[in-house]
A and B are shown apart, each in its own frame.
Chain A
Amino acid sequence: MAGIIGYGAYMPRNRIKVEEIAKIWGADAPSYKKGLMLQEKSVPSPDQDTITMSVEATKYALKRAGIDPTRIGAVYVGSESHPYAVKPSGTVLAEAVGATPEAHCADFEFACKAGSAAMFVCMGLVDGGKIEYGLAVGADTSQGAPGDALEYSAAAGAASFIIGKDDGVAKVIDTYSFMTDTPDFWRRSYMHYPRHAGRFTGEPAYFKHVLGCANGMMEKVGMKPKDFAYAVFHQPNGKFPMRVGKMLGFTKEQIEPGWLSPTLGNTYSGSSPMGLTATFDVANPGDMILMVSYGSGSGSDGFVYEMTDKIDAVRDLAPKTREKLDSDKVYIDYGTYAKYRRKIRMGE
Chain B
Amino acid sequence: MIKLTPPITDEEIKQLHVGDKVSITGTIYTARDQAHIRLLKEKNPKFDLKGSVIFYVGPTPNKPNQAVGASGPTSSYRMDTMAPELMARGVKLMIGKGDRSEAFREAMIEHNACYLIATGGAGALLSSRIKKSKVIMYEDLGPEAIRELTVEDFPCFVAYDVHGKNIFKGDANG
Query: Is chain B a partner of chain A in the same complex?
Result: no
B interface residues with partner A (beta carbon < 8 Å): none
A interface residues with partner B (beta carbon < 8 Å): none
